């Protein structure tokens, strides 16, 4: 049985959100390429007890052949829940407290604000009037950061708890100012940058080390959400850092996250619904040795604050496809024990993803056929679906 890594106690408040360690210190590689899919967050309850969750053991088992478990609260203390025994693994799951991707809303999360939520958004505006006035003065009051739709995302992401939502928003503004994200948005608006891989900074150079596909005009779900694809087997992070350096990758990631947020806000207004992103992670060709810890530490240092601190309620679902059989086996045994929110967001599929009804419904049959076609026509050393997706981009 794999060694189980225990999570350290994290501080109370906003700083409680932190990536979890994995066996052999290999958690960071997965986080670096799976982005917002393989991040989990801890939070403290109102009494200050840390609620430790078991994160997606099955998704991690896909490449790690292990199901890491986080340490649960002291028996009898605040936040304690009766542990679940499963073949020697002990975990404490909480369907109420788990927050996957930092924040995840309940069902019907594609609806815009109802009457009660609209009133709460106005109350939130009143509580944040000072901060919003400063943004107006600076010319940084953008729709995707100060509009009702973004405030609704923040409100739902914090279970309609106004003090928590306002605290997160203030921290969001601090991060945006520190990382100059407002200036980045103005620059991309000035140059008419679409949410398309080829329009991101250093996209051409990074293409030699990774395969990431997104295009706001061509690559969408049947419901109208953005669709992103990552061929994890194509990631060569050691060579990227050594030959290209970290800064181009950091600038690419910052631009991608910022543009995604702005485009989702515009799409929500156009569609009359809360548009989000659906991401596909292709595990074909991956291995535990594919990534390098130095790169992952850089991702943790520079990108986690933006992903956790400025993005809220932007991911609809993550589909992990071509997962090895042992990963899907573990997941199928554990998924009924996972928190309901996590179960809705993470979908672990094998090479038979074309036969999954939920994948067909959310991703669309035409998109799945493109993925399957890419597998059949693959000519690169790693069996990613990149060729077919590049063909889609070229149309």
- Quick one: pLDDT at residue 291? 66
Q: What is the CA radius of gyration of the chain?
A: 20
Q: Domain check: are 200 and 286 in the same one? A: yes
CA atoms of 293 and 300, how far apart (whole Å): 10
In a domain, 348, yes or no: yes
Look at residue 30 in the predicted model and tell me its pLDDT.
Answer: 36
Is there a single domain that holds both residue 267 and residue 175?
Answer: no
Say whether both 232 and 277 belong to one domain: yes
Q: Which residues pair with 317 in a beta bridge?
A: 278
Domain span at 125: 111-179
User: Is residue 348 within 8 Å of 331, Cβ to Cβ?
Assistant: yes
In a domain, 390, yes or no: no
249/350 same-domain check: yes
Residue 242 and residue 134 share a domain: no
Q: Is residue 341 part of a domain?
A: yes
Looking at the fold, whether 199 and 333 belong to one and the same domain comes out as: yes
Whose CA is closest to 219, among 358, 84, 390?
390
The total number of structural domains in the chain stands at: 2
Same structural domain for residues 199 and 160? no
| Segment holding 239, helix H or strand E | helix 237-239
Residues 156 and 204 in one domain: no
Q: 88 lies in a domain? A: no
137 and 214 co-located in one domain: no
Residue 280: inside a domain? yes
- pLDDT (0 to 100) of residue 162: 96
Residues 172 and 199 in one domain: no
User: How are beta strands 43-44 and 50-51 bridged, if at all?
Assistant: antiparallel
CA distance 222 to 365: 9
The string of pLDDT tens digits covering residues 308-360 is 999 999 999 999 998 887 888 888 888 788 787 777 888 898 888 888 888 88
Low-confidence stretches of the chain (pLDDT beneath 50): 1-107, 378-388, 390-395
Residue 185 located in a structural domain: no
Q: Residue 319's domain is classified under what CATH number?
A: 3.40.525.10
Q: What are phi and psi of 214, to 5 degrees?
A: -155, 145
CB 64 within 8 A of CB 288: yes
What confidence score (pLDDT) does residue 374 get? 58
């Amino acid at each position: 049985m794999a060694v189980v890594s225990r999570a350290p106690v994290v501080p109370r408040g906003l700083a409680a959100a932190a990536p979890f360690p994995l066996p052999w210190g290999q958690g960071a590689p997965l986080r670096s390429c799976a982005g917002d899919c393989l991040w989990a967050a801890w939070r403290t309850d109102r009494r200050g007890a840390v609620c430790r969750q078991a994160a997606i053991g099955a998704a991690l088992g896909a490449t790690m052949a292990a199901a890491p478990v986080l340490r649960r609260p002291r028996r009898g203390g605040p936040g304690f829940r009766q542990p679940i025994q499963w073949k020697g693994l002990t975990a404490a799951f909480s369907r109420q407290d788990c927050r996957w991707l930092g924040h995840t809303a309940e069902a019907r999360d594609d609806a815009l604000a109802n009457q009660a939520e609209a009133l709460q958004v106005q109350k939130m505006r009143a509580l944040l009037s000072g901060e919003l006035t400063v943004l107006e003065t600076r010319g940084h009051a953008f729709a995707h950061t100060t509009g009702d739709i973004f405030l609704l995302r923040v409100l739902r992401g914090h279970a309609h708890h106004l003090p928590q939502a306002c605290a997160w928003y203030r921290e969001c503004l601090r991060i945006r100012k520190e990382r100059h994200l407002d200036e980045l948005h103005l620059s991309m608006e000035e140059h008419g940058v679409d949410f398309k891989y080829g329009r991101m900074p250093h996209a051409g150079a990074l293409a030699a080390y990774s395969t990431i596909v997104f295009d706001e005009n061509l690559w969408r779900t049947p419901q109208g959400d953005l669709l992103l694809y990552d061929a994890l087997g194509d990631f060569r992070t050691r060579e990227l850092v050594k030959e290209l350096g970290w800064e181009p990758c950091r600038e690419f990631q910052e631009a991608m996250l910022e543009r995604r947020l702005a485009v989702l806000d515009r799409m929500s207004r156009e569609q009359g619904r809360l548009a989000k992103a659906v991401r596909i992670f292709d595990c074909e060709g991956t291995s535990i040795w594919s990534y390098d810890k130095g790169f992952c530490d850089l991702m943790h240092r520079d990108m986690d604050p933006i992903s956790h601190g400025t993005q809220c309620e932007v991911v609809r679902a993550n589909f992990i496809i071509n997962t090895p059989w042992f990963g899907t086996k573990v997941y199928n045994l554990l998924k009924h024990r996972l928190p309901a929110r996590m179960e809705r967001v993470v979908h672990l599929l094998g090479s038979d993803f074309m036969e999954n009804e939920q994948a067909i419904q959310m991703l669309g049959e035409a998109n799945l056929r493109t993925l399957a076609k890419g597998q059949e026509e693959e000519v690169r050393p790693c069996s990613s679906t990149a060729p077919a997706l590049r063909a889609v981009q070229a149309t």
